[in-house]
């Protein structure tokens, strides 16, 4: 992934240094396992630990000849170790090391994302409470519906990310699985006790029935969860973009004092950060399909998944880490325009009381059909003529027969929409 969208902490997870460090740790752990069952003297393990040094430049040189990165790694390490190097990779196949190291790397990446979500949750909770009493019009189909509060809107995001937190925790658990069972997974050249030792050492579960690889349904699950989280980020970013439209102008992403909105038009304040989130989330969602395609492989394995994973695993985790941190900054620095929020509440002249009036008339004995048609007619008149819906209702003789003015005043009390919001907010506070 290009540096523009890469944070240092996640970048370090996907370096060659970290990958080969994991390879070496696992190879040494396997030697320790062989030693524990009496096949290799422990002093050999100690010598390998002492002498083994990773040289990435040399690994790359060897790979140009072998066209096999794991063999290149083994040969380079063996060069630094000397005679004891012949025991490295004893009984193993490449996927034992590759897949088990992937478990360690993906767990590191997943825990960074988990921390990102925890930070985002703190900001969402803070903003939901801060704006819980700010009335704003709710919209369905892009059309004014009934009043909500800005804090309520943010509260829906908060609970979605609580679910995302649970999802990434399950996904981390799903991929925290090791495999040290040799070619085709039958332990034909290695003992199950060694796999048990290695997995216990690195706090991994064992893939009890592997083939030559760890089954890629685990990776597909992990990437799919990343895709869902990306969708949640895109959903919030899209809300900002909609609310920042000129005709609405209620909520804005942060804009730096010296920031420029357009190379051509100095007046522009574009929601570029949220647009960036929406764009990058598409890449993660695209990678979900690739991960699903990687599940079905030939027989006990082929290698068609490998090249794709070299792209989609670092790309998806790096991008999601970036997106989550950017979204956290956007929400923490969000700006609101109270004047426009209040203005937009009044655009349709209080027609949002229509359902409350409908329900009241039904309880007074009207048929739902008659009540609906009566209120719809008056609503459309209020919007077309730009007159107050409440006043038109109060003047309608057929409604006045059933509802007293003090009852209408109660119906038209906007705070009636919000009487139960405090009950909902207890789940946040």
Long-range contacts of 46-55 (CB under 8 A, 24+ apart): 47/81, 47/82, 47/84, 48/81, 48/84, 48/85, 48/87, 48/88, 51/80, 51/81, 51/82, 51/84, 52/24, 52/28, 52/77, 52/80, 52/81, 53/77, 53/80, 54/17, 54/20, 54/21, 54/24, 55/80
Task: Check the CA dihedral 247-251-257-261 and report its sign.
Answer: negative
Helix pair angle (304-332, 272-293), 10° resolution: 150
Token pair of 412, please?
């038209």
CA distance 405 to 278: 49
Catalytic residue among 262, 304, 367, 398: 262
* Cα(163)–Cα(159) distance, integer angstroms: 6
Q: How many CB atoms lie within 10 A of CB 206?
A: 17
Contacts of 355 (CB under 8 A, 6+ apart): 146
Exposed / middle / buried, residue 140 (Cβ in 10 Å: 0-12, 13-18, 19+): exposed
CB atoms within 10 A of CB 420: 9
Among residues 35, 95, 101, 141, which one is catalytic?
141
> 234 with 281: CB under 8 angstroms?
yes
Largest CA distance in the chain: 103
Which residues have C-beta within 8 Å of that of residue 184, sequence separation ≥ 6?
Answer: 211, 212, 300
Query: What whole-number distance in Å separates Cα of residue 164 and Cα of residue 229?
Result: 6
Name the nearest CA neighbour of 404 among 370, 360, 371, 367.
360
Distance between CA atoms of residues 344 and 249, nearest Å: 9
Query: Is 262 labeled as catalytic in the residue annotation?
Result: yes
Distances (CA, A) of 309 to 63, 182, 401: 19, 21, 71
Q: Which residues are catalytic?
A: 141, 262
């Amino acid at each position: 992934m290009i540096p523009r969208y890469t944070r240092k902490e996640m970048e370090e997870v996907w370096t060659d240094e970290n990958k080969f460090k994991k390879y070496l740790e696992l190879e040494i752990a396997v030697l320790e396992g062989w030693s524990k069952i009496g096949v290799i003297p422990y002093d050999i393990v100690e010598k390998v630990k002492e002498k083994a040094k990773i040289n990435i430049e040399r690994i790359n040189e060897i790979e140009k000849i072998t066209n096999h990165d794991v063999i290149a790694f083994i040969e380079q390490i063996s060069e630094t170790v000397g005679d004891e190097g012949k025991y490295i990779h004893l009984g193993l196949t490449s996927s034992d090391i590759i897949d088990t190291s992937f478990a360690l790397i993906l767990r590191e990446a997943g825990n960074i994302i988990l921390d990102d979500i925890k930070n985002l949750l703190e900001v969402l909770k803070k903003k939901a409470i801060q704006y819980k009493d700010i009335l704003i019009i709710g919209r369905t189909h892009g059309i004014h519906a009934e009043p909500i509060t800005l804090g309520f809107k943010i509260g829906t995001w908060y609970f979605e990310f609580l679910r995302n937190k649970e999802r990434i925790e399950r996904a981390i658990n799903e991929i925290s699985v090791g495999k040290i069972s040799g070619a085709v997974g039958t332990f034909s050249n290695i003992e199950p006790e060694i796999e048990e030792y290695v997995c216990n050492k690195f706090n991994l579960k064992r893939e009890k029935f592997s083939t030559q690889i760890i089954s890629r349904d685990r990776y597909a699950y992990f990437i799919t969860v990343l895709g869902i989280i990306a969708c949640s980020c895109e959903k919030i970013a899209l809300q900002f973009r909609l609310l920042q439209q000129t005709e609405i102008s209620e909520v804005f992403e942060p804009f730096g004092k010296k920031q420029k909105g357009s190379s051509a038009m100095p007046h522009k304040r574009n929601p570029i950060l949220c647009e960036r989130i929406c764009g990058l989330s598409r890449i993660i969602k695209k990678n979900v399909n690739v991960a699903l395609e990687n599940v079905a492989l030939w027989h006990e394995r082929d290698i068609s998944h490998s090249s794709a994973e070299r792209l989609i695993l670092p790309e998806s985790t790096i991008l999601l880490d970036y997106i989550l941190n950017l979204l956290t900054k956007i929400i923490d620095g969000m700006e609101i325009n109270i004047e426009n929020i209040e203005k937009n509440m009044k655009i349709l002249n209080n027609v949002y009381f229509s359902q409350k009036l409908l329900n009241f008339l039904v309880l007074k004995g009207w048929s739902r059909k008659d009540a609906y048609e009566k209120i719809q007619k008056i609503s459309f008149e209020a919007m077309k003529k730009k007159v107050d819906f409440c006043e038109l209702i109060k003047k309608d003789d057929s409604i006045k027969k059933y509802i007293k003015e003090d009852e209408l005043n109660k119906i038209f009390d906007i705070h009636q929409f919000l009487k139960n919001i405090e009950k909902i907010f207890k789940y946040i506070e």
